[in-house]
Chain A
Amino acid sequence: DGGITQSPKYLFRKEGQNVTLSCEQNLNHDAMYWYRQDPGQGLRLIYYSQIVNDFQKGDIAEGYSVSREKKESFPLTVTSAQKNPTAFYLCASSPDRVEKLFFGSGTQLSVL
């Protein structure tokens, strides 16, 4: 099956801990994106990458980091600097230009 896989589905973070959310795609898309969604809100862009080994900050990049070492993978690390990390995190991919995003099923991150 072609698509985007996010894992884990649920993740808990302790105070001062870094956690990494996984995102893998087998659609052969060049571009990948991370969005954050708070309850009852729209999506806000954290980071995006249009090509391997390159990525750009979105609107709310502070407290997050990413890497793009492989075309298929775009992991997101929520660092201890992110003071309010509880949210639903969505990964997406698209061909070069944004004409249609394909989304994963999301990771719900909560703070213990």
Chain B
Amino acid sequence: SQQGEEDPQALSIQEGENATMNCSYKTSINNLQWYRQNSGRGLVHLILIRSNEREKHSGRLRVTLDTSKKSSSLLITASRAADTASYFCATAGGSARQLTFGSGTQLTVLP
């Protein structure tokens, strides 16, 4: 079964707006990661947040983690048409030996 569930399943916004995606998971984690996938391509790692961290930034990306609610959010600020892709959260358990992926959010940024 999949650990993470993303919300919303699909999101459509205008260029320049912010995009927020949410991820919920079920069991305790070592870290949580976000990946991006362009259509028909492999995934690309965006950012990792550890279980003892609450917020992390990387460029236009901001990730938060609330372990008490077992949830995370990914914020993309000032979105661009090139940000159009699917975004997946993935969790690593205590041993951090494998990742379990969520179902993804399809983001469309309209020019």
Contacts and interface: CB of A to CB of B under 8 A. Distances in A.
Interface of A: 4, 6, 31, 33, 35, 41-45, 48, 50, 58-59, 88, 90, 92, 97-106, 108
Contacts of A50: 97
Contacts of A98: 31, 92, 96-99
Given A102-B45, A106-B40, A106-B42, A42 B88 contact: yes
Interface of B: 1-2, 4, 31, 33, 35, 40-45, 48, 88, 90, 92, 96-104
Contacts of B103: 41-42
A49 to B, nearest CB: 11
A97 B42 contact: no
Contacts of B92: 97-99
A100 B88 contact: no
Contacts of A102: 45
B42 A90 contact: yes
Prevailing SS type, chain A contact patch? strand
The 9 closest A-B pairs by CB, nearest first: A103-B42, A43-B101, A42-B103, A42-B101, A97-B96, A103-B43, A100-B45, A98-B92, A105-B42
B97 A101 contact: no
B40 A44 contact: no
Most chain B Cβ neighbours within 10 Å, of A35, A88, A99, A108: A99
B104 A59 contact: no
B53 to A, nearest CB: 13
Contact of A100 (B33, B100, B101): B33
Contacts of A100: 33, 45, 48
A59 B98 CA distance: 11
Nearest to B40: A106
A105 B41 contact: yes
A88 B104 CA distance: 15
A58 B92 CA distance: 14
A104 B42 contact: yes
